[in-house]
Structure 1
Amino acid sequence: MQVASARKCFYLKGLNTFLVRQIGSKIRTNYLVVTVVCGLLTITICAVSIGASTALAMNKMSQSATPYDLNVLSNVSVDGDSDIAAYLAAHDITISNYAKATEQISVYEADMTYSELFEGQKVKFWPIDEKVPDSKVSVISISDLNRALAMQNKAPITLNDGQYLLNCNYNGTYRYIAAALQSHPEITVGGVTLQRAEDKVLQETYIMTSVGNNDRGTLIVPDSVTASLEKDVNALLVQYEPNADSNEILQKMIPIGLDSTHGYRYAEKNMMYETFYGLDALVSFLCCYIGLVFLLICAALLALKQLTETTDNVYRYGLLQKLGAGRRQIDHTLFVQTVVFFAIPLVVAGVYSAFLIGKAMAVVEEFMNIHIATNIGLTIVLFLLVYGSYFLATYLSCKRIVTEQRELEV
């Protein structure tokens, strides 16, 4: 305000003298309110951004992570290279009675670890992935992958002999897999040297897991290459008949999942939805709810103060009119006052939030193992729409108060 007052070319132009004094008066008399609103807005921006971004990320993940109604995994080292459907039938679960389509595919172990695949990179994993570097790289044959994609009604992928692809849908390792693909124009698997087929990492889900998209990186190779590799997991993929009772299937599958003497485990779409929309969704909802409540409180406080002060000072606008100020000038002055009164706490809160959101995102992503940063922009836009709506309603209300007073005086 002092700088504006010192610039005479600005201060003495139009109604700027009145405008600067009005804004200065608001700052001096309302600094406590503005301080409280700044604090609440900081909490609001962080809570709404993190909560809504997490909800959007979880919703997207729930769709991409559940391409089948059911899949049953068998650990080959425990159960041998078995027929999963036959094992289930022996335990009174005849999958063919419920399924319109089934496929059994296999996942192999490469003769290299992820640390060898990531060689030359400076990697930093989430705590849940600390054992990844020492694990063998997963491998799937192109025919098994295409059979899995056919179950999802997706087009098959073409891969020539002597070529390989990489697949990854897990945010904790995706950037390292993408870098590994660029740094390995050729790779040796099972004694066979393969050339890179594409520069882009695939992001397909060929097996469902209980923790969502969890393919940390899979080599896709010709069928002939897997013949010399050790099989790690068999997976039975199932799509239900339209009238299948998923609850009945789940009840029958519970003993299979609890059998500690065998390595059979299952993931079911409805069960996974409950996981996605359970505790994590509740936390996201509470963040959004608390943030929106604080946002409405802040906007209502600012609107109330602006409306009250406009009502108290309405006679001043009448004096401006009597002194020859035009209607457009008065409306513009009122508009700038309202903009400044709403913008000051938003700008201050935005500066703090820009720092805090980054810290909060890192904590949430590490705790929930999901990537939410891509949704921050959308949630901030939604926040600004709500805040801007209060600003617009406040300005129009103040303008009506001044207009009505002007008409009464005329």
Structure 2
Amino acid sequence: MLARLAVRNVRRSMRDYAVYFVTLVFGVAAFYAFNSVQSQSVLFDLRGVASADAFDLTARFLGMFSVLIACVLGFLVIYANRFLIRRRKREFGVYLLLGMRPAQVSAIVLMETACVGAASLAAGLVLGLALSQGLSFLTAGLFSIPMQQYRFVLSAEALRQTLLCFAIIFAVVALFNTLSLRRCRLVDLFGAAVRSERSRIRSPWVGLAGFAVAVGLLAWAYGTLLESGLTEFGAEFWKATALMVAGTFLFFWSAAGFAVAALERVPGVYFRGLAMFTTRQVASKVNTAFLSLSTVCVMLFFSLAVFSTGSGFVQVFSDGVEEGTLFDASLTADVYLALDGGDDEAAQAVREKAGAYGWDIARFFDESVPNWDEFVEKAAQADLYQPREGTDTYGALMERLGAGVDGGLQEEALAPQTVGVVGLSQFNAVRALAGRGPIELSAGTYAVNNAVALSEELSRAMAEEGVEIEVGGRVLSASGLYVEQPLSTSAFVTDGAMLVVPDETVEALRAAGEAPYASYLDLSYRTDRAEGDRLLEEALALALPAEGREGAQEPSYDRSPWPVTATYTADEVVEQSGGMRMMITYLALYIGFVFLITTAALLAIQQLSEASDSLARYRMLAEIGCERRMMFRSILVQVAVYFLAPLALAACHTACAVSVIARDVLDQLGVSVSDAVAAAAAFTALVYGGYLLVTYLASRGLVRASLGRRLLG
């Protein structure tokens, strides 16, 4: 009998459970789909270790954030149940009055929770299975690799995690409901319908003072963040965060009293239609729910910020891949590690070793690896110099040209450095390997090579304004040539504001004892890239055997300032970039979407509960002759204000944070956030606006059903 009663109650209360149920379905679907990402790896040919590692890393991060997501969804379920239980206390009182024991009432609620939970889990898992299949195609696009053969993938681990997580959530909810019902007395249950939460409006002067302090705190937070930036999460960042949170809570604590006082002083607005009733309704709710509204605002800010910047960071790993993979592989020798390390013996050893081969890395491998020419078709070396004496610094050039680089810290770090140079013949050899034509320079001139967005202004000024630059005691004039040529394989191109100089200038630097601070050897394979990468690993292990690695399964080599400090292959860069794109995209979608639907659902449940509690007030309005249109308009205004107030403040927080992230990070990488912000705004409007519309229609339906045709007319 109790089971039939529980099922009947769920069917009868479908309208009450609708928003809650749909949000749970979305939450379960997202939880399963994003935790099944690692299982999708069976659909792809992951030849590279980087690709497999990318799936593992993404899965680990999603698993870590799933704990946070589970807590957020658990909070939603408990909070929603609190409102649903409070709405039905009179019904539970009737059960007790008819002779049911408290344990039986608790059993009914437990079965209702199990029924709704099982239904939402089942529907969510079905939707999650479909969503996970769609994510596999998104993964293929992010990695730029085809599927071997599509097949339906069911992740047993993700299914187990989802069932376990939501089983725990619903068990906690059931315990919470049981305890709350057993503490209630019969008089409390019957009196719940006529008691409402305190609706006292705070003193307008207190509200005004609180509102002014809140605005001041938020302005202080924004100013602190704009000044300190996001280059590091130091004391100023946490200070700005604390001020923002405190200002947000104080804003909603004081907003109701301030708004009522302000509207009361505009009689033409306050006494028009149901404006007074609507204002009091909203103020009453905001006064009692300012904590939840503040929490919703912070969660919305986090969701909007993640959405707005996530796609920007994805673009960072997309835009540079093509230019960063012009060569099959690049060997990097960071000579400066020895020259600037303070160890004279180490520096001398590097000079002697490199000098024995004429600083020619390709010659070293040609003499050390018998099959070098069998898999390396072409090679081009670029030696980069920063002469210590008789050379202009970037700071001096910035002052003379009135141009700089984007980002204060980067400009400050670059200013004391002498100008970097590369020889013309080596530069043209690198361009030839990339399939590009050579450049020409007259004697005593220079060209500017820049492939970095943050130094474009300075580089163009150096090339186009005819400034003379001293390099190693020689004064060179501008040729007017501005070139964008990456010099090595890399996920992030870092070749910026560098001079291309005649070979005789480089020879003079060498004759004066200058050594390159770094060298790149770019390679083009005779074989395909996968086979070439394998042979390169074996060649490195043969030419530069690492101590203690004999018999190891994976080849390794001794890394040193010369001839090789690190290797970067095109396939690895593509795989790593694809992995980062996948991880950032999935985290942004996962966190942003769940936070967005959770906040919208919380507001929807609160407004539906408020509409239910206010039915007597709407009945009174109808009885004194208030038109249906005016009441429905009042409901719309209440719902809109309740939804849009936290969204508006969250948008202000987001605008400040995103502008700082764009200034300090994305702009310097040549990435615009405008498209990302527009996409985030459109998605938020769709989801959040959908919840707002559904809440309004449901609230209007409650009032319509309660008043009936006779009162509404």
TM range (shorter): 0.7 to 0.9
Alignment match, 1:106: 382
Between the aligned partners of 1:338 and 1:98, the Cα distance in structure 2 is 69
Asked if 2 retains the 8 angstrom alpha-carbon contact of 1:361 and 1:373, the reply is: no
Residues 48-82 of structure 1 show CA distances to partners (whole Å, capped at 9, x for unaligned) of: 55555434323434443332220234669442435
Structure-2 change in CA distance of 1:324 and 1:162 (3 Å): farther
Between the aligned partners of 2:384 and 2:524, the Cα distance in structure 1 is 24
Alignment match, 1:21: 280
Q: Which of residues 21, 27, 36 is equivalent to 2:295?
A: 36
* Matched position secondary structure for 1:104: strand
Amino acid at match of 1:71: S
Alignment match, 1:248: 534
- Percent of aligned positions that are identical: 21
List alignment gaps of at least 5 residues for structure 1.
none
Residues 175-212 of structure 1 show CA distances to partners (whole Å, capped at 9, x for unaligned) of: 554565577523344635322505xx644312235x73
Q: Which of residues 544, 553, 558 is equivalent to 1:258?
A: 558
1:187 maps onto 2:464 in alignment: no
Alignment match, 1:70: 329
Map 1:334-353 → 2, pairs under 5 A:
334-353=635-654
Structure index of larger Rg: 2
CA apart distance, 1:349: 3.0
Between the aligned partners of 1:15 and 1:93, the Cα distance in structure 2 is 90
List alignment gaps of at least 5 residues for structure 2.
1-258, 336-349, 545-556
Alignment match, 2:603: 302
Q: Which of residues 196, 199, 204 is equivalent to 2:485?
A: 204
* Matched position secondary structure for 1:197: strand
Higher relative contact order (Cα pairs below 8 Å, separated by 6+ residues): 1
1:238 maps onto 2:550 in alignment: no
* Matched position secondary structure for 2:365: helix
Between the aligned partners of 1:243 and 1:277, the Cα distance in structure 2 is 17
Moved more, 248-257 or 387-396: 248-257
Residues 125-183 of structure 1 show CA distances to partners (whole Å, capped at 9, x for unaligned) of: 459x9588345522241x54444344444566566666533223346755554565577
The answer to which structure has the higher helix fraction is 2
CA apart distance, 1:243: 6.5
Between the aligned partners of 2:459 and 2:636, the Cα distance in structure 1 is 53
Asked if 1 retains the 8 angstrom alpha-carbon contact of 2:601 and 2:691, the reply is: no
Amino acid at match of 1:9: G
Between the aligned partners of 1:283 and 1:348, the Cα distance in structure 2 is 26
Alignment match, 2:687: 390
Between the aligned partners of 1:49 and 1:208, the Cα distance in structure 2 is 29
The answer to which structure has the higher strand fraction is 1
Map 1:119-268 → 2, pairs under 5 A:
120=399, 125-126=409-410, 133-135=416-418, 137-141=420-424, 144-154=426-436, 163-170=445-452, 177=459, 185-189=467-471, 191=474, 193-197=476-480, 202-208=483-489, 212-222=492-502, 226=506, 228-230=508-510, 232=516, 235-240=520-525, 241-242=527-528, 244-255=530-541, 256=544, 258-260=558-560, 262-265=562-565, 266-268=567-569
Asked if 2 retains the 8 angstrom alpha-carbon contact of 1:310 and 1:398, the reply is: no
Amino acid at match of 1:343: L
Aligned residues: 399
Between the aligned partners of 1:61 and 1:195, the Cα distance in structure 2 is 28
Structure-2 change in CA distance of 1:43 and 1:116 (3 Å): closer
TM-score (norm 1): 0.74
Between the aligned partners of 1:297 and 1:372, the Cα distance in structure 2 is 33
CA apart distance, 1:36: 1.6
Amino acid at match of 1:106: A
Moved more, 301-310 or 395-404: 395-404
Asked if 2 retains the 8 angstrom alpha-carbon contact of 1:68 and 1:239, the reply is: yes
Amino acid at match of 1:29: T
Asked if 1 retains the 8 angstrom alpha-carbon contact of 2:304 and 2:654, the reply is: yes
* Matched position secondary structure for 2:391: strand
- Aligned residues: CA RMSD: 4.4
Structure-2 change in CA distance of 1:399 and 1:235 (3 Å): closer
Structure-2 change in CA distance of 1:386 and 1:261 (3 Å): closer
Structure-2 change in CA distance of 1:396 and 1:175 (3 Å): same
Structure-2 change in CA distance of 1:239 and 1:94 (3 Å): same
CA apart distance, 1:238: 2.4
CA apart distance, 1:215: 1.8
